[in-house]
Structures are given as C-alpha cells and as structure tokens.
Amino acid sequence: MKWRSLEESAPDTDVRPLREILAERKQLISKYVPPETQAVHARVVAELREQGIAKRALAVGAKAPAFALKSHNGAVVSSAELLAKGRLILCFFRGRWCPFCVGQLEAMNLILPRIQEAEASLVGISPQTVQQSFFMADQHKLCLPLLSDTGNQVARQFGLAYRVPDDQREIYRRSFVNLPFVNGDESWELPVPATYIVGTDGTILYASANPDYTERPEPTEVLDNLSSQESGASSQGNR
C-alpha cells in the first residue's frame, strides 16, 4: 500500500511545483504500467467527463454541507468548529494508495504554515479508514488532519462520489489496491479529487473538481485565491 518512486525523496524536501511532481509520476506509470491497463484508466476518466461529474460537483456560491468526521488520530473534526476560526480548505482525495493524492497532500502540507498565517484551516478527506489515514499521515509526515469519510457520505453531498467500474476493480485487485479493505466497506466507491475553499459562512469560494486524478490544482493557485478573498466572497468556479 506504499507509493514509492524510483528515487524517493523525503516528503518534506521536494519543493518542485506540483505539476512537475505529477508529470514525473505519470511518466513512470507510462513506462512501467501495461498499455491495456492505462487504457482502462483513461476510459474511466473519459466516461466520468462525459457523465458531467465535475459539473455536478458543488461550485462557487453553493453552500458546503456541514460534516463531523474522525481524523487520523481518532478525534472528531467538525466543519462548524473549523469555520468558526476562519476559512477552510478541503482536499478530497482517493486514498494513500494513489501516488497523485500523495503528491498533492505532500505539496499542500508544505504550504500549511502559510495557510495558517492566513487564519485558515486545511483538511484532507478520503473514504479510507482511520487506520489507513494514520498510516498515511505518519509515513508522509503530514501535519494536516486526514478525515475518514466512511461510505463517501460527505463526498456524495459534494457531488463527487462515483462507483469504480468492474474492469477497473480487477486492475486494482491485481495491483493490491483492495478498496474494501482500505475503505472498510464493499461499495467500491471513490471521490473525484477536488479542492475547495469554504468561507466562514459556509459558502464555497473556490472549487476545483477534476475526474482526471492525475491533475490537481497547484498549491500556489490555492494560496493566491485564499489571499485574494475575504470570507464570503466568491472567486473561481469549477475547472
């Protein structure tokens, strides 16, 4: 269940732009993953685009659903408590088994002090169990809370949840991505990766939801939006 690149650097030392990190991981996948496997993943992404899942996801101006979820250390974290302190950044990700999710959270972890300077909070949300989130936080030295969204209940309210197709399930099984074990249920559901900034009144100020799990917003883009906003002001819509 561990992503390891050919030359893995310490998680807190890779300060390259996120796009470069993800491009490197895509190159490794194109080199080592069979073309027929890559084709299945590409087809699923295309189908999600055709289904308009990114358009169904909550956008700027919508009210973010409230939630209370367990963090990787077992504490319950509520959106109400976080929003009482300032704006909130949400990163919906697939799980610790996804190299692109790992890359994004490590990159977001690096800018956490600047997020806190802006009096905002950052959390990661995935369907994986509390134990899997604990392993991820420990392994990658993440300082942000990783919240377990059991059954993708919160992701579904944001319009992000989808069911993994049968042929992609078989690929995951062969590559030891056992989602029923990792997520603690038999749903075989995942969230489309998405990043949100939520204002103190619960209004979504920034939204980026992309069915292509190999692409994520640059942390500097999130910071720029955070710094240019006042709580309750809208800025940018879904990509």
102-151 pLDDT, tens per residue? 999 999 999 999 999 999 999 999 999 999 999 999 999 999 999 999 99
What percent of the chain shows pLDDT beyond 70? 90
Q: How many domains does the chain have?
A: 1
- 57 inside domain: yes
Element housing 239 (H / E): none
30-74 pLDDT, tens per residue? 999 999 999 999 999 999 999 999 899 999 999 999 999 999 999
Torsion, Cα of 2, 137, 141, 79 (10° steps): 140
Note the helical H segments in the chain: 18-32, 35-51, 53-56, 79-83, 99-110, 112-117, 130-140, 153-157, 166-174, 179-183, 219-228
Rounded to whole angstroms, the maximal C-alpha distance in the chain is 49
More confident residue, 79 or 10: 79
Which residue is listed with tokens 């992404």? 45
- 115 inside domain: yes
Does the structure show a pLDDT above 80 at 227?
yes
- 113 inside domain: yes
Instruction: Residue 150: give its domain's CATH number.
Output: 3.40.30.10
